[in-house]
Amino acid sequence: MKEFADWLSHTSLSVLIQNHNSWMIPTIQSVNIVGIGIVIVSVFMVDLRILGLAGTDQTVKETTNRFGPWLTGALCVLLATGLLMVVGEPVRELITISFWVKMFLVAVGTLIASIFQIVLRKHDQHWQDELIHRVSIKGLAILTFLIWVAIIVLGRLIAYDHVWGSWSPATKA
């Protein structure tokens, strides 16, 4: 991974970002934060609907139709800005445990959101009448939100990977 990071840091896009890092890096990070704000709130509103804490004048399907596209769109923004950050600062990103755990959780979070939307589209009445009243589904809604909270925390901890002590490859490098 160190070799890959070194190679990546010599690509022309990486050199371009590095040469303008004083404004490019904070700009990319800021856009990333704007995106994560849309993502976490989209997940949050659907979760609140499942928990019966918001939007109860609408069905779960209506709520998901409202926030699903924004979630997808904002995830694309996160992917684009995330890739730019990795290309711009490969060593800082890739040689940390925070980054890899974060990527794992992003995959889990995205998978849950995708499966939920597919299943809901097919069985929206079943969700509306029965599933959202189940404790396990309510628990899953809370867990999903917490996964995205953890993603934000880990994103910030990439800059402080030494907090993981011996688990962090950054402290060994």
Q: What is the DSSP letter of 56?
A: T
Interactions with other proteins, residue window 119-148 (CB under 8 A): none
CA–CA separation, 37 vs 48, rounded Å?
Answer: 16
Residues 16-52 as b or e (16 or more Cβ within 10 Å = b) = ebbeeeeebbeebbeebeebbebbbebbbbbbbbbee
Interactions with other proteins, residue window 44-103 (CB under 8 A): 44-45, 48, 54-55, 57-58, 66, 70, 94, 97, 99-101
Binder of other proteins out of 7, 10, 26, 118 (CB under 8 A): 26
The reply to whether 163 sits near other proteins by the rule CB under 8 A is yes
The reply to whether 115 sits near other proteins by the rule CB under 8 A is no
Q: Which is nearer to other proteins, 13 or 146 (CB)?
A: 146
Q: Which is nearer to other proteins, 135 or 173 (CB)?
A: 173
The distance of Cα 83 from the centroid of its chain, to the nearest Å, equals 13
